[in-house]
Amino acid sequence: MVMKTEVVKGQMLLTGRERGTTLIEVLILMMLIAVVSAVIIPSFGGLKDSIMVNTYQRKIDRYFNIIRRSAVNSGQEETINLGRNNISCNLSNGESLKLDFADENILTLEYEEKQIIFYPDGTSSGGEILLVFNKKERYYFQINSITGETGWYEP
């Protein structure tokens, strides 16, 4: 405890306690910060993975919708070719689209059919693609053969 002193005519007088932070208070605060950090920080690792999965899902969904629209607008069939780490399509207007998933350890695609066809009336050959993330998380992308619509679901 630190006491505040005042000098009056050559004499020191004790006038009360001066507030300051003691070493014990600083140590307690540091321990409290460490405990809170230990609880909060691990949850951010899953957040990054979740953001990455959502990004891949949006890209795949957008890609299929672009190709479906192209089939309807051009009046010609559009064929999507599925690879283990990519999806590609040569559109009827000569444009080539490719969606690559660079790191095989993070994301792989599994499917039964190697091609999905979108028809000019908006329908499709249908199919299902399994997106495997970090070799453990599984997400299914389904292409409805009657409506041509696409959507994600978890098993």
Name the DSSP letter for residue 154: -
User: Whole-angstrom Cα distance, residue 5 to residue 13?
Assistant: 6
User: What is the domain partition of the chain in residue ranges?
Assistant: 54-153
Answer whether residue 110 shows pLDDT above 90: no
Torsional sign, CA 86, 51, 65, 97: negative
Phi/psi at 119 (nearest 5 deg)? -100, 160
Is the entire prediction scored with pTM above 0.75? no
For 54-153, CATH number?
3.55.40.10
Q: pLDDT tens for residues 12-71?
A: 555 555 666 788 888 999 999 999 888 887 777 677 778 888 888 898 899 999 999 999
What average pLDDT does this structure show over 93-102?
85
